[in-house]
């Protein structure tokens, strides 16, 4: 029969990669908890309107990248392309935001119809933090410091650079939009059709164009920083002071606009030179109007999302994560009953000790071969001789001399604890 393959751009995550994923996830869980954030889990399917109203109809995400479908009643639903809009919807719908402060985090798959390549997929994963009810640059500073601490804990901080900008409030952006439109119109002959359409619909988006002509124009274009209100500028300067005082390096990038319409004031991205064209690893900023836009009471809000696949690609450049089975348990077929009991007693006494019990009837010789290949540190051997002595033979599969010894079954827990502490097999 013909094989059925996975959907284009939606890769499997294989067992050989799972240790790195789990390391990323557990580092994140510890980190978010230490900053007082709690997890929330949103569904992957939401009403299409949630994204078109918040992210913006003219953005690439909504106009080209959504996976949408009609349900049986004709309602348009979409697989979530990002987490912030869903998280705000969750907060508003469940009364978590009004007159309160919340620190929430989420993690999970997102979906965008993009051209798949290394670091860019149609199903990918993000982890993000969202904080509600906080004004002033302190919360942005804390979130950025949390991200910085995350990179440090993962050992990839030297690969990432923080870029910051302020988009100002709605008044500043409206003023800037007019000035920017006039500027580009003076150079309209250098813009292709797609850029002219962007100019008409959302001129700020020209600032992060990859088109060479546009990029040259952008260098001399007016900068939003010159149109910020006193308040926005104060916040932006305050953030810079807070970051500098806490040892977080950054560069100002006045052309950083982000591909989503809901941001205001401070925005930022962490970028890398180590992933080719897929340079953005994390992005975030302030989105004070989003809660109201989704029917809640006006609530200040700040958040960011980290691309997990791109983070993992960086992680792999510094360290390989492999599954580490502790013990391969070799068993003579007639000793299966005893082996099951010994292995389960050990699992109960030592929940962290990972045992692969040979549960079929294969010959000892082929079990030895599999034990060598398994990557386990230790082999336990239980044949009739060992059973007669109520013991198992323990072999260190990692040492060159392949040292081995008999250990009484009753002594196995203390033997293992000793091995876990010392990393070597020795008599107890």
**Where in 208-237 is the site for ligand ATP (CB under 6 A)?**
none
Q: Which C-beta is closer to ligand ATP: that of 235 or that of 309?
A: 309
Q: Report the nearest approach of ligand ATP to the CB of residue 175 (Å).
A: 25
Instruction: Using the minimum distance from each CB to ligand ATP, give the nearer residue, 154 or 283.
Output: 283
Burial class (CB in 10 A: 0-12, 13-18, 19+), 417: middle
**Span of 14-22, 87-95, 137-145, 280-288 interacting with ligand ATP by CB under 6 A:** 280-288
Residue 114 near ligand ATP by CB under 6 A: yes
Shorter beta-carbon distance to ligand ATP: residue 25 or 114: 114
Nearer of residues 119 and 168 to ligand ATP, judged by Cβ:
119
Query: Measured between alpha carbons, how far is residue 169 from residues 150, 200, 225, 230 in Å?
Result: 30, 21, 11, 11
Q: Which of 124, 132, 356, 419 binds ligand ATP (CB under 6 A)?
A: 124
Stretch that binds ligand ATP, among 118-126, 162-170, 193-201, 315-323 (CB under 6 A): 118-126
Does 83 help bind ligand ATP (rule: CB under 6 A)? no
Q: Which stretch binds ligand ATP (CB under 6 A): 67-75, 112-120, 242-250, 391-399?
A: 112-120
List the one residue from 28, 37, 121, 328 that touches ligand ATP (CB under 6 A). Answer: 121
Mind giving me the DSSP string for 128-160? EEEEES--STHHHHHHHHHHHHHHHHHT-GGG-
CB of 15 to ligand ATP, least distance (A): 21
**Rounded-to-integer distance, Cα 306 and Cα 310, Å:** 9
Which of 45, 145, 179, 280 lies at the binding interface for ligand ATP (CB under 6 A)? 280
Q: Kindly tell me which of 305 and 357 has the beta carbon lying closer to ligand ATP.
A: 305
Whether residue 332 contacts residue 163, with contact meaning beta carbons closer than 8 Å, is answered with no
298-327 mask for ligand ATP (x: CB under 6 A)?
A: -------x-x-xx-----------------
Give me the phi and psi of 2, to 5 degrees please: -65, 145
> Does 173 engage in binding with ligand ATP (CB under 6 A)?
no
Supply the minimum distance, in Å, between the C-beta of residue 217 and ligand ATP. Answer: 20
10 Å Cβ neighbour count for 148? Answer: 20
- Binder among 126, 165, 264, 367 for ligand ATP (CB under 6 A): 126
**Spatial contact of 162 and 143, defined as CB atoms under 8 Å apart:** no
Q: Is 174:200 a contact under the CB 8 Å cutoff? A: no
Q: Report if residue 281 touches ligand ATP, rule: CB under 6 A.
A: yes
**Sign of the four-CA dihedral 277, 279, 283, 289:** negative
Beta 404-408 vs 391-396: how paired, if at all?
A: antiparallel
**In 10 A of CB 110, how many CB atoms?**
22
Closer residue to ligand ATP (CB): 136 or 276 = 276
Residue whose CB is less far from ligand ATP, 120 or 148: 120
Residue 278 interacts with ligand ATP (CB under 6 A)? yes
Please state whether beta strands 161-166 and 264-271 pair in parallel, antiparallel, or not at all (unpaired). Answer: antiparallel
Q: Give CA separation, 274 vs 104, 143, 151, 258, 313, in Å.
A: 30, 24, 14, 21, 9
Q: Which residue is nearest to ligand ATP (CB)?
A: 307
How far apart are the C-alpha atoms of 151 and 159, rounded to whole Å?
Answer: 9
β 45-47/76-79 pair status: antiparallel
Please state the separation of Cα 141 from the chain's center in Å. 20
Binding site for ligand ATP (CB under 6 A): 82, 112, 114, 119-121, 124, 126, 259, 278, 280-283, 305, 307, 309-310
């Amino acid at each position: 029969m013909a094989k059925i393959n996975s959907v284009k751009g939606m890769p499997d995550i294989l067992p050989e990669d799972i240790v790195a994923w789990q390391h990323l996830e557990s580092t994140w869980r510890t980190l978010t908890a230490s900053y007082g954030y709690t997890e929330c889990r949103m569904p992957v399917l939401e009403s299409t309107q949630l994204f078109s109203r918040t992210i913006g109809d003219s953005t690439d995400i909504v106009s080209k990248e959504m996976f949408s479908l009609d349900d049986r009643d004709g309602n348009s639903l979409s697989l979530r392309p990002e987490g912030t809009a869903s998280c705000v919807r969750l907060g508003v719908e469940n009364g978590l935001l009004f007159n309160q402060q919340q620190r929430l985090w989420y993690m999970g798959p997102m979906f965008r119809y993009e051209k798949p390549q290394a670091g860019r997929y149609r199903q990918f994963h993000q982890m993000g933090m969202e904080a509600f009810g906080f004004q002033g640059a302190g919360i942005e500073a804390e979130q950025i410091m949390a991200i910085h601490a995350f990179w440090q804990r993962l050992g990839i901080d030297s690969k990432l650079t923080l870029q910051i900008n302020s988009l100002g409030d709605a008044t500043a952006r409206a003023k800037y939009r007019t000035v920017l439109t006039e500027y580009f119109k003076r150079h309209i002959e250098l813009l292709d059709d797609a850029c002219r359409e962007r100019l008409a619909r959302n001129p700020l988006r020209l600032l992060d164009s990859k088109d060479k002509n546009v990029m040259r124009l952008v260098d001399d274009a007016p900068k939003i920083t010159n149109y910020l209100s006193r308040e926005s500028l104060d916040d932006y300067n305050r953030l810079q002071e807070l970051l500098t005082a806490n040892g977080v390096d950054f560069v100002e990038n006045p052309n950083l606009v982000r591909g989503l319409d809901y941001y205001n004031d401070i925005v930022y991205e962490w970028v890398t030179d180590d992933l080719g064209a897929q340079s953005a690893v994390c992005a975030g900023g302030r989105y004070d109007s989003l809660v109201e836009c989704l029917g809640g009471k006006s609530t200040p809000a700040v958040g960011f999302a980290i691309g997990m696949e791109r983070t993992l690609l960086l992680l792999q450049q510094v360290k390989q994560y492999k599954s580490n089975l502790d013990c391969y348990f070799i068993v003579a077929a007639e000793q299966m009953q005893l082996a099951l009991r010994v292995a389960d007693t050990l699992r109960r006494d030592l929940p962290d000790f990972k045992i692969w019990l040979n549960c079929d009837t294969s010959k000892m010789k082929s079990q030895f071969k599999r034990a060598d290949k398994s990557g386990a540190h230790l082999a336990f051997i239980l044949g009739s001789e060992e059973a007669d002595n109520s013991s198992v033979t323990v072999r260190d599969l990692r040492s060159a001399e392949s040292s081995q010894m008999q250990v009484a079954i009753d002594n196995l827990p203390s033997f293992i604890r000793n091995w876990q502490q010392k990393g070597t097999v020795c008599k107890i």
